[in-house]
Structure 1
Amino acid sequence: MGLTAKPGDEQIVSHRRQPPASMLTREEHLKRSKEAALALLNAGRMREAVSSMMTDIVKSPSSAMPREIHAFGISAAAAGDTTAVREYIEGFI
């Protein structure tokens, strides 16, 4: 039994089997994280988008960066600034 997307369901993320995050390269993990966070943002779920990105970045052992960077995403979401949240998500390299 599969999921069928209907018009307006752009936020549905594929449920196909994908390798676990621990088996992905840093670039693949980052790409997957950004896609999930942007899908949430595009669905109007700004705070969840930031939360998704934060948790994905923190749990990746290859993403050594100051955790304070997440204050930007949190502040942008709290202010309702969609553009800044998008910049936060897309800014990870």
Structure 2
Amino acid sequence: MIVNRSKYIDQLVRSKGNGLIKIVTGLRRSGKSFLLKKLFRQHLLDEGVAEDHIIIIDMESRKNKNFKDPDFLLDWVEKEMKDDSIYYIIIDEVQEVNDFVEVL
């Protein structure tokens, strides 16, 4: 069963485009990742955002261990951004990135 988190999606939607980084916090296993990687992603797709303009990086995946290096992360994201349109970058467990505050 999927619980509609419209209150949280609405908060994210209202703050879209304000130039600020969004940080979602909460208890472990409370649905933060699901909110961003599934529900908010689907909202963006429904609004017409191209799939390749939504970049999701899961820092818990062993496959993404290179992203813990902030320079690697920045270079990779810049290469993924092919045009001047808006991109949405979702980094799950961003605290795993070295110097993540500086990177953001």
With the length of structure 2 as denominator, give the TM-score of the two structures. Answer: 0.31
Pick the structure with more strand per residue.
Answer: 2
Pick the structure with more helix per residue.
Answer: 1
With the length of structure 1 as denominator, give the TM-score of the two structures. Answer: 0.34
